[in-house]
Chains A and B, each alone.
Chain A
Amino acid sequence: MAFSTINSAWLDIGDPTKKELFDLIKSNQDDLDDRVTDLEATIAVESPIIFQVTGPYWLESSPITDAAHLIRVPFNIDLTSARLQIIDDGSAGTLDCDVKYSDDDGSSFSTIFSARPSIANGGGNYGDTTGTLSVTEIDAGDLLRLDIITSMTGNERFILILTWETRA
């Protein structure tokens, strides 16, 4: 389906109303609706929130919760998914991550998960897993913080990705 220009000669005063004209109008409306639907789907998926960790974080005592990884959300959003992905495998331990939000400028933080994402060592490079969200509505100005609950020794690169959509 594609947009088709309506022949202006069909619109002259006194011309008969033709079925072809209405077919063309319908076709164009259907085409427009398809395009708008695709566009809505595209713009609804925003660039994800990424917490990126590089280096031997496991040398520090876990849990690591001291706000080293913090983002202030600039507008109302709905979180849609959470994925933890390691880049390099470790030699011991399990990487267990939490993301907490604060709606009081950091006075208190609460988890967004009912089941946190975690990856045990030994599964190879680029292992990934998802977490189960229990909190999805994050308001403009709220803080999101990555906490490392337990570490995977030897792992030095991982990312936690939150996908989201804008919310009015």
Chain B
Amino acid sequence: MISKGIYPRTLNYGLSDSSGSYSMSSSTPAQITNLSQAITTSGNPVFVGLVSASGSSPGYFGIDGTTGGDITFLRDSTAIAEILISNQGSDLIKITPSFWHIDTPAAGSYTYKAYTNANVADTIYIYNMKLFVCEIPIITT
């Protein structure tokens, strides 16, 4: 008689609070309000991404200026992915965010964060977004 218990039985993930109506105009990267999420992993790859915070307040990444800015994902204090968003015009553009990254850390406890920065004098808007982190399950038997 054998009873097999396979883990994880539930998805190992975390979802941050909403960024609310965040904006900044600095070329120095800064953490987006609330976009920080801790997770303890078993060594499998980790999905890190931005998702819309609600079904009623649209989430977006906006650039008001002529150049653009960056989204940077950090694992603790280490930058693991930098994504450039360019604006070659002069009008405000709003992008449906689908920024994500697959991280491959060793097993452990980490805090993932999303930073942003503007180029030149542009203004970056991060509205109604959450940081989603999820260990990708690998099932063995």
Binding site for B on A (CB under 8 A): 47, 49-60, 68-71, 73, 91, 146, 154, 156
Contacts and interface: CB of A to CB of B under 8 A. Distances in A.
A interface, over-half SS: mixed
Nearest to B43: A56
Bin chain B's interface residue count. Answer: 10 to 19
Interface string B16-58: 0000000000000000000000001011000000000000000
Contacts of A52: 2-5
Contact of A50 (B3, B6, B12, B40): B3
Contact of B7 (A50, A55, A70): A55
A75 B140 CA distance: 31
Given A69-B3, A69-B5, A54 B40 contact: no
B8 A55 contact: yes
Contact of B5 (A49, A54, A73): A54
B107 to A, nearest CB: 6
Contacts of B12: 56, 59
B interface, over-half SS: loop
4 closest A-B pairs (Cβ-Cβ)?
A55-B7, A56-B42, A57-B7, A53-B5
Interface of B: 1-10, 12, 40, 42-43, 107, 139-141
A154 B42 CA distance: 7
Contacts of A73: 1
A70 B3 contact: yes
A69 B4 CA distance: 7
20 contacts: A49-B2, A50-B2, A51-B2, A51-B5, A52-B3, A52-B4, A54-B4, A55-B6, A55-B42, A56-B7, A56-B42, A57-B5, A59-B40, A69-B3, A69-B4, A70-B3, A71-B3, A73-B1, A154-B107, A156-B42
B1 to A, nearest CB: 5
Nearest to A70: B3
Contacts of A54: 4-7, 140-141
A55 B139 CA distance: 7
B128 to A, nearest CB: 30
Given A54-B7, A59-B12, A68-B9, 18 more contacts: A50-B1, A51-B5, A53-B5, A53-B7, A55-B5, A55-B139, A55-B140, A56-B8, A56-B107, A57-B7, A59-B7, A59-B42, A60-B7, A60-B10, A68-B5, A73-B1, A146-B3, A156-B42
A146 B1 CA distance: 13
Contacts of B7: 53-57, 59-60, 156
A148 to B, nearest CB: 9
